[in-house]
Amino acid sequence: MPSFSRVNNTQALGGEAQGTLTDPTACMEGCIQNADCVAVDLDFNQNAVLCWFHFNRANLDNTQPATNTYHFVVQERCEGGEGEAKFSVDLLLL
């Protein structure tokens, strides 16, 4: 199962908006399925969730406070597994 570290109320600068991914689970799964994605910011400040992918690990050192935003860094991927990554974002947000 994929794993992420989480920082509450934080965002990293330099992310790329994923406008078609407005569901938290789809956002996280999209990052796991993209081998170049190293982190995700989920911004809950709008009517829809804003999903931001990070592709440059150097940007992860450049974070700032952001209310209702969660910064997730990929710690482990399901290497060699078959099928899609499945997990509950609800559990990640506890």
CATH superfamily membership of 3-80? Hepatocyte Growth Factor (3.50.4.10)
- What's the whole-model pTM score? 0.81
The pLDDT, as a whole number, for residue 92 is 55
Domain borders along the chain are 3-80
- Buried b or exposed e, range 10-24, using 16+ CB within 10 angstroms: ebbeebeebeebeeb
Alpha-carbon span 12 to 59, nearest angstrom: 6
Q: Give me the mean pLDDT over the 66-80 stretch.
A: 85
Alpha-carbon span 35 to 50, nearest angstrom: 20
pLDDT at 89 over 50: yes
Q: Is 63 helix (H, G, I), strand (E, B) or coil?
A: strand
Q: What is the DSSP letter of 35?
A: T
